[in-house]
Amino acid sequence: MQLVSTHRNRALRGALALVTSGALLCAAATLSGCNKSSAAATGDPGASKTEKLSAAPAATERSTEASGAAVLTPPGLEKSTAKASDFPTAKIMTTGLKVDDDSVTVGILHSTTGTMAISETGSVQAEKLAIAQINALGGILGRQIKVIQEDGASDWPTFAEKARKLLVNDKVAAVMGCWTSASRKAVLPVFEKENGLLYYPTFYEGLEQSKNVFYTGQEATQQILASLDWVNKEKKAKSFYLIGSDYIWPRTSMKIARKHIENVLKGTVVGEEFAPLGNTQFGSIINKIKLKKPDVIFAAVVGGSNVAWFKQLNAAGVTAANQTLLTISVTEDEVLGIGGENLVGFFSSMKYFQSLDNPNNKSFVEAFKKMWGEKSVIGDVTQAGYLGPWIWKAAVEKAGSFDVDKVVAASPGIEIKIAPEGYVKVHENHHLWSKARIGKAKADGQFEVVHESDLIEPNPFPKGYQ
């Protein structure tokens, strides 16, 4: 009778099976180029946290695709001739933040893991590009910018904790960070108490204005109202079905949208649904929408849920041919995950699209792709993230100091003429003048711009909408 196999044999077999399957997975991953592109796309967050983004980013682990040459800088900007000695540290920093004779430290606080990583990675890349370009042009007040990056992990309490760490422990001069309104609300008390400075890049619901925050993305009137007006005029839309993810931004956005639809456009809201963040089962909701047959589906589904939402819409036979859909939460980043074929013909309202045809954008896209890979896509929030460091730099130079209070005082009125979206100006309420654009999704993941408004003045507290 054959003996029962020994422990060792079994363990060996088991280990062999594990190693084989692990090797198969890794091999397939590398072969399909996953590893490389993901390292480039996500900026490899595991690499060193504090590093000087010098003029040669290829030196760091990050841009594995960069050719090793210096980062491309916006055309028309000259290298700054400011010397650190012209600005003695004691004069330009009086509040104990991390500034010395040759460097200044800023923080980057975004989610590189979790359900929001799909959206926030672009912001990190853009902020780092901007900082690299600024450094290549001589830095700010003769000092190079160093970066400390923290991961919020799509978890708002973690955002608050990391924000406190950046401000209290690391004493950074400014933070580029946050994406969801939930994360911003969680860190706001920290920034106000510690008198920090946050550059917040996402389009959001407005109804907020803080001394310590600059909002480089659109607020509701610049995005929601403009897009509703357009779809009402162009598509004669009267009935709307509102759907969003269940947290503050979609809820507040839909509250504003409803008021606008009912009071100004004299239309009707035939349904309103909110699905939990991370939800992937939209079957019943889609059936309800089909039942009501709205003129327009107005969608604010966020993060990973977007993929399930659009895939299932498509699978249920809802396409642009038979239904108009206007979304305020899909940029080129999300399309990458959803798949362009699921979105063809749907409309998105943003202030920036990668396909914008102006010289600023051309050089921006070129520089971005050089640093982060040819396959990179650039969405609205990514561009807004790009603006943050430039606005900060302009304000610091105007104030001649890194002190938060002086920078804040110097900011209103600052114009950024190299903005990829064309032109922006900082308003007294810490928001930006910018245009609203409507894009029609194409199968290749890009958008065709079908409408562009004039510069809209930001108004985070619109009368009648609260």
Partner 1 sequence: MSLNEIGSMVAMQGFSGLSLFTVLLLMALGLAIIFGQMGVINMAHGEFMAIGAYTVYLCSQLTQNFAPGLREVYFVPAVVVAFFVAAAVGYAVEVLLIRRLYKRPLDTLLATWGLSLAMQQFFRSFINPKEVSAELPEWLLGAFNPTPSIQVPKNGIFVMGLTILVSAGVYLLMLRSRWGIRIRATTQNRIMSSAVGINTDRVDRFTFALGCGIAGLAGAAFTTIGSTGPTSGSLYIVDTFLVVVFGGAANLIGTIASAFSIAQAQSLLEFFLTSAMAKVLTLLTIIIILMIRPQGLFTTKVRT
Partner 2 sequence: MNLLSKKLGKSDWIGVLVLAAIILVLFPSVFSIFRLNLIGKYLTYAFVAVSLVLLWGNGGILSLGQGVFFGLGGYCMAMFLKLEASDPISTKIQSTPGIPDFMDWNQITQLPFFWKPFYSLTFASFAILLIPALFAFIIGVAMFKRRVGGVYFAIITQAVALILSVLIVGQQGLTGGINGITDLKTLHGWDIRTDSAKYILYYVNGGLLIGCVVFTRWVLSTKFGMLLLALREKEDRVRFSGYDVANFKTLAFCMSAVMCAIGGAMFTLQVGFMSPSFVGITPSIEMVIYTAVGGRLSVLGAVFGTLLVNFAKTFFSEEYPDLWLFLMGATFIGVVLLFPDGLAGVYERYGKPRLQKLIGRRSLKPEPSVGVAAFESGGKHG
Q: Return residues touching partner 2 (CB under 8 A).
A: 45-46, 49, 112-113, 150-151, 155-157, 160-161, 164-165, 168-169, 182, 185-186, 188-189, 193, 205, 207, 246-248, 251-252, 255, 276-277, 461, 466
Q: Which CB sits closer to partner 1, 20 or 358?
A: 20
| Least distance from partner 2 to the Cβ atom of residue 315, Å | 26
Q: Which CB sits closer to partner 1, 334 or 403?
A: 334
Question: Kind of pairing, strands 347-350 and 324-327?
Answer: parallel
Residue environment code for 179-215, b if the CB has 16+ CB neighbours within 10 A, otherwise e:
bbbbbbbbbbebbeeeebbbbbbbbbbbbbeeebbbb
Residue 386's nearest CA partner among 49, 60, 73 is 73
Q: Which CB sits closer to partner 2, 73 or 149?
A: 149
Q: Which CB sits closer to partner 1, 42 or 95?
A: 42
Q: Which does 186 bind (CB under 5 to 8 A by kind): partner 1, partner 2, none?
A: partner 2
DSSP string, 338-385: H-GGGTTT-EEEES--TT--SHHHHHHHHHHHHHH-TT----HHHHHH
Distance of alpha carbon 443 from alpha carbon 307, whole angstroms: 15
| Least distance from partner 1 to the Cβ atom of residue 33, Å | 6
Q: Which does 164 bind (CB under 5 to 8 A by kind): partner 1, partner 2, none?
A: partner 2
Q: Which does 279 bind (CB under 5 to 8 A by kind): partner 1, partner 2, none?
A: partner 1
| Least distance from partner 2 to the Cβ atom of residue 337, Å | 21
Q: Which does 17 bind (CB under 5 to 8 A by kind): partner 1, partner 2, none?
A: partner 1
| Least distance from partner 2 to the Cβ atom of residue 466, Å | 5
Tokens of 162: 């990391």
Q: Which CB sits closer to partner 1, 15 or 168?
A: 15
Q: Which CB sits closer to partner 1, 230 or 372?
A: 372
Residue 326's nearest CA partner among 255, 244, 397 is 244
Residue in the structure block whose two tokens are 């920078």: 407
| Least distance from partner 2 to the Cβ atom of residue 303, Å | 12
Q: Which does 50 bind (CB under 5 to 8 A by kind): partner 1, partner 2, none?
A: none
CA distances from 306 to 98, 179, 295, 454 (A): 40, 16, 21, 29
Residue in the structure block whose two tokens are 């359900």: 115
| Least distance from partner 1 to the Cβ atom of residue 10, Å | 6
Q: Which does 157 bind (CB under 5 to 8 A by kind): partner 1, partner 2, none?
A: partner 2
Q: Which does 90 bind (CB under 5 to 8 A by kind): partner 2, partner 1, none?
A: none
Residue 333's nearest CA partner among 101, 86, 41 is 41
DSSP string, 256-299: HHHHIIIIIS--EEEEEEEEPTT----HHHHHHHHHH--SEEEE
Q: Which CB sits closer to partner 1, 2 or 67?
A: 2
Q: Which does 160 bind (CB under 5 to 8 A by kind): partner 2, partner 1, none?
A: partner 2
| Least distance from partner 2 to the Cβ atom of residue 350, Å | 23
Q: Which does 35 bind (CB under 5 to 8 A by kind): partner 2, partner 1, none?
A: partner 1
Q: Which CB sits closer to partner 2, 120 or 295?
A: 120
Q: Which does 316 bind (CB under 5 to 8 A by kind): partner 2, partner 1, none?
A: partner 1
Whole-number CA gyration radius for the chain = 24
| Least distance from partner 2 to the Cβ atom of residue 227, Å | 21
72 with 369: CB under 8 angstroms?
Answer: no
Tokens of 15: 């280990």
| Least distance from partner 1 to the Cβ atom of residue 334, Å | 10
Q: Is 355 exposed, middle or buried (0-12, 13-18, 19+ CB in 10 A)?
A: middle
Q: Which CB sits closer to partner 1, 67 or 284?
A: 284
162 with 112: CB under 8 angstroms?
Answer: no
CA distances from 272 to 102, 300, 329, 342 (A): 54, 11, 16, 23
Give the interface with partner 1 as residue ranges (CB under 8 A).
4, 10-11, 13-15, 17-18, 20-22, 24-26, 28-29, 31-35, 38, 41-42, 45-46, 112-115, 117-118, 121, 246, 273-276, 278-281, 283-285, 287-288, 290-291, 304, 307-308, 311-312, 314-317, 337-339, 341
| Least distance from partner 1 to the Cβ atom of residue 338, Å | 7
Tokens of 266: 């004299």
Tokens of 242: 């509102």
